[in-house]
C-alpha cells in the first residue's frame, strides 16, 4: 500500500506537469523553474564548481540541462540522461489567415510523425510566443480554460465520404486539409461589411496587441486541449497529450532533483527537435553537450587539452525515450516475447531503427550487463522491448548521436499505447519506476571496464 500511495502521489505531480507543459518552451521553462526551486543555480552565475554543486541552464528557451557535480574528475565520465522536450503537433504557418466559404481559417504545417486523420474533430488549443519588432515577447495560450474557445479541424461527414473511404488510411486526410476553423460571421456582421480576416485580426489585436505582420515572428503551436486524465476503470493509467517524451522528462527531472553528490557528475539534458531529426541549435545534433562539458571542465579547473573528449568518451548515457507497448487490439504488429508491456516498468531497448536496424544505436552487450546490475541492485522492476514487427516500420531516438563520442549509450524509456496520437496512454507505475531507475543510474559508480 505504501508503494501504491507513492505511485499515486508521483502521478499527481506528473499529471500537473503534463497539463502545464504542452510545448518545448513550456517544458524547458518548467524544468528550469523546478531546478531553481530544488536549489540548483544558473550555470552562468557560478565562478567555480565543487562536488555537490547543483547547476542548470535554460538554452534558447527550448532546451535545458541540469548537473550535479560528482566526487570524481569529470574526465572519468558523467552519468547522463537525455530526453526530448518536443512532441508531434501542428504549427501555425507564418501567413496563416484566410477566409473561404463563410469561415475564417488558419493554415497549419504538421510537425513530426503524425497520423493526420487523428487531428480532426477534436478540441485544439494554441500555445506559443509572438516576438514583436523591438523584442517584446508575448506568450499565447488559448483553449485550455473552460471559459476559452477551442479550435477545430473539420472532416467530411459520413454522408459525403464515399470517395474518401476508398483511399488508404494515410491519404484520407492530407496535410493541406489540416486547416483550423477560427471564426465565422453572423448575417448582421456581414451586412455591416465586416470581413472574417478583419474580425480575426481585431480579436488578436484586442487580446495581444498584435497585427498580422507580427505573426511572421511567432511560434504558435496547435496541441490537444485539456488536462491529463486518469484512465482505466481502476485509474492505473494516464491518458494525455505528450507522454512522448515528457513522461521521461518528468521521470528524469525527479531523478536528478533528488540526486546528492554522486561519484560521477550526473546530468540531465532536455533537448528539442527530436521528432524532426534532432536538427537545429536546440537539438541533439547541435554542439550543446560539447559546449556544456567544456564549461564544466573550465569551472572545475580541469580544462587541459583533450579533457572534453576524454570526459565525453568515458561517460555513460541513457537515452530516455518512450517505447512501444503491446496493444491487444493490434497484437499481430508486435514481436512476441520482445515487446514491452504497460505496468511492467521502464524498458531497456537494445536497438531501435528501421528495417534491419537502420539508424539504430544497438547498445553494447557490456553496457547492457552493467545496466542490469544497476537496476537489479536497486530493486527496479524493468523489462526489455523492441519497436514491433521488423518489416512494419520502426522508430528512432537520440541514442546514436551521443554514441558518436564513444560513450556507452542505450535507450531506456516508458512504454506507451498509441504513441504519437493526440492522446497517448501510459502506466502510472511505469513512470514512477522509470524515475527510480534513472536515479539509480545517475548514482551508479560502475565502470564499463569491469564488463570488458
- Radius of gyration from C-alpha coordinates of the chain: 23
- Asked which of 196, 224, 252 is the last residue of a domain, the reply is 224
Question: Can you give the pLDDT at residue 244?
Answer: 97
The pLDDT assigned to 356 comes to: 78
Q: What is the mean pLDDT of residues 393-403?
A: 90
33 or 396, greater pLDDT: 33
* Helix runs in 378-423, H state only: 400-403
Q: Where are the beta strands (DSSP E) in 69-156?
A: 79-84, 89-100, 103-111, 124-131, 137-142
Q: Say what the pLDDT of residue 360 is.
A: 82
In this structure, what CATH number is given to the domain that contains residue 416?
A: 3.40.630.10
Annotate 170-209 with b (16+ C-beta within 10 A) or e (fewer).
eebbeeebbbbebbebeeeeeeeeeebeebbbeebeeebe
* Pair (98, 176) in one structural domain: yes
At residue 345, the 3 state secondary structure works out as: coil
pLDDT of residue 389: 86
Q: What is the pLDDT of residue 316?
A: 98
Structural domain of residue 174, as residue ranges?
A: 90-224
Whether pLDDT at 397 is above 60: yes
Determine the pLDDT at residue 4: 74
- Mean pLDDT, range 80-106, rounded to an integer: 96
Q: Are residues 82 and 100 in the same domain?
A: no
What number of H helices and E strands is found in the chain? 11, 22
What pLDDT does residue 41 have?
A: 99
Which long-range contacts does 330-338 make (Cβ < 8 Å, 24+ apart)?
Answer: 332/389, 333/388, 333/389, 333/392, 334/388, 334/389, 335/386, 335/388, 335/389, 335/390, 338/384, 338/385, 338/386
Geometric angle at alpha carbon 215, from 214 and 219, rounded to 5°: 120
CA–CA distance from 98 to each of 106, 178, 268 (Å)?
7, 13, 43
Do 74 and 94 sit in the same domain of this protein? no
127: in domain: yes
C-alpha cell at 196: 472574417
Residues 287 and 435 in one domain: yes
pLDDT of residue 354 exceeding 80, the answer is no
Mean pLDDT across 180-209: 89
Do 63 and 19 belong together in one domain? yes
Q: Do 9 and 135 belong together in one domain?
A: no
pLDDT of residue 407: 97
Confirm whether 236 is domain-assigned: no
Do residues 345 and 420 both lie within one domain? Answer: yes
Cβ atoms of 313 and 407 closer than 8 Å: yes
Last residue of a domain, one of 224, 255, 277: 224
In a domain, 51, yes or no: yes
Which residues face 231 on adjacent strands?
A: 237
Domain match, 417 and 284 both: yes
- Are the CB atoms for 66 and 268 separated by under 8 Å? yes
Instruction: Give the list of residues 6+ apart from residue 89 with CB closer than 8 angstroms, or none.
Output: 23, 110, 111, 112, 114, 221, 222, 223
Do the domain assignments include residue 231?
no
C-alpha cell of 450?
569491469
- Long-range contacts made by residues 369-377, C-beta under 8 angstroms, separation at least 24? 369/451, 370/316, 370/408, 370/444, 370/446, 370/448, 370/451, 371/318, 371/410, 371/412, 371/441, 373/446, 374/440, 374/441, 374/444, 374/446, 375/437, 375/440, 375/441, 377/440
The answer to whether position 234 is within a domain reads no
Q: What is the pLDDT of residue 382?
A: 99
What DSSP character marks residue 152? B
Is 374 domain-assigned? yes
Q: Are residues 278 and 299 in the same domain?
A: yes
Residue 232: inside a domain, yes or no? no
* Domain annotation covers residue 229: no
Cβ–Cβ under 8 Å, residues 419 and 426: no
Of 2-6, 203-207, 363-367, the least confident: 2-6
Mean pLDDT of 196-213: 90
Task: Summarize pLDDT for 296-345 with one digit per residue, the tens.
Answer: 999 999 999 999 999 999 999 999 999 999 999 999 999 999 999 999 99
Residues 130 and 32 in one domain: no
pLDDT of residue 226: 96
State how far Cα 34 lies from the chain centre. 17
If asked whether residues 78 and 102 sit together in one domain, one would say: no
CB distance 316 to 331 below 8 Å: no
pLDDT band at 182 (very low <50, low <70, confident <90, very high): very high
**Which helix (DSSP H) or strand (DSSP E) does residue 268 occupy?**
strand 266-271
pLDDT at 394: 81
Pick the last residue of a domain from 197, 224, 251.
224
CATH of the domain at 187: 2.30.250.10
Instruction: Verify that 318 and 189 share a domain, yes or no.
Output: no
Kindly report the pTM of this predicted structure.
Answer: 0.96
Total domains present in the chain: 2
- What's residue 352's pLDDT? 85
Give the list of residues 6+ apart from residue 123 with CB closer than 8 angstroms, or none: 143, 150, 151, 152, 224, 225, 226
Amino acid at each position: 500500500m505504501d508503494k501504491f500511495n507513492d505511485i499515486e502521489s508521483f502521478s499527481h505531480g506528473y499529471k500537473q506537469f503534463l497539463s502545464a507543459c504542452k510545448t518545448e518552451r513550456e517544458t524547458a521553462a518548467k524544468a528550469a523553474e523546478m531546478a531553481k526551486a530544488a536549489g540548483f543555480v544558473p550555470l552562468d552565475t557560478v565562478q567555480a564548481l565543487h562536488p555537490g554543486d547543483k547547476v542548470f541552464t535554460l538554452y534558447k528557451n527550448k532546451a535545458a540541462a541540469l548537473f550535479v557535480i560528482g566526487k570524481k574528475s569529470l574526465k572519468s565520465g558523467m552519468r547522463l540522461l537525455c530526453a526530448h522536450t518536443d512532441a508531434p503537433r501542428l504549427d501555425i504557418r507564418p501567413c496563416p489567415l484566410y477566409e473561404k466559404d463563410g469561415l475564417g481559417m488558419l493554415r497549419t504545417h504538421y510537425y513530426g510523425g503524425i497520423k493526420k486523420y487523428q487531428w480532426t474533430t477534436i478540441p485544439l488549443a494554441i500555445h506559443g510566443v509572438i516576438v514583436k519588432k523591438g523584442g517584446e515577447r508575448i506568450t499565447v495560450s488559448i483553449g485550455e480554460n473552460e471559459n476559452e474557445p477551442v479550435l477545430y479541424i473539420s472532416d467530411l461527414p459520413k454522408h459525403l465520404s464515399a470517395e474518401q473511404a476508398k483511399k488508404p488510411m494515410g491519404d484520407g486526410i492530407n496535410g493541406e486539409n489540416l486547416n483550423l476553423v477560427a471564426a465565422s460571421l453572423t448575417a448582421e456582421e456581414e451586412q455591416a461589411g465586416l470581413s472574417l480576416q478583419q474580425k480575426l485580426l481585431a480579436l488578436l489585436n484586442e487580446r495581444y496587441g498584435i497585427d498580422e505582420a507580427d505573426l511572421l515572428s511567432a511560434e504558435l503551436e496547435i496541441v490537444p486541449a485539456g488536462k491529463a486524465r486518469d484512465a482505466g476503470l481502476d485509474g492505473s493509467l494516464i491518458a494525455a497529450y505528450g507522454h512522448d517524451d515528457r513522461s521521461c522528462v518528468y521521470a528524469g527531472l525527479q531523478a536528478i532533483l533528488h540526486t546528492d553528490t554522486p561519484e560521477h557528475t550526473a546530468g540531465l539534458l532536455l533537448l528539442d527537435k527530436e521528432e524532426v531529426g534532432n536538427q537545429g541549435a536546440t537539438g541533439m545534433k547541435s554542439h550543446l553537450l560539447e559546449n556544456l562539458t567544456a564549461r564544466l571542465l573550465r569551472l572545475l579547473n580541469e580544462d587541459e587539452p583533450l579533457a572534453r573528449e576524454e570526459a565525453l568518451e568515458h561517460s555513460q548515457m541513457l537515452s530516455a525515450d518512450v517505447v512501444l507497448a503491446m496493444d491487444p487490439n493490434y497484437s499481430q504488429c508486435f514481436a512476441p516475447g520482445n515487446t514491452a508491456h504497460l505496468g511492467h516498468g521502464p524498458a531497456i531497448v537494445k536497438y531501435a531503427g528501421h528495417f534491419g536496424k537502420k539508424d539504430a544505436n544497438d547498445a553494447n552487450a557490456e553496457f547492457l550487463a552493467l545496466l542490469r546490475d544497476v537496476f537489479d541492485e536497486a530493486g527496479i522492476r524493468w523489462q526489455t522491448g523492441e519497436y514491433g514487427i521488423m518489416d512494419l516500420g520502426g522508430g528512432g531516438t537520440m541514442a546514436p548521436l551521443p554514441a558518436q563520442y564513444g560513450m556507452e549509450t542505450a535507450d531506456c524509456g516508458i512504454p506507451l499505447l498509441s504513441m504519437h496520437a493526440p492522446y497517448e496512454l501510459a502506466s502510472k507505475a511505469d513512470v514512477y519506476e522509470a524515475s527510480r531507475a534513472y536515479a539509480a543510474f545517475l548514482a551508479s559508480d560502475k565502470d564499463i571496464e569491469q564488463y570488458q
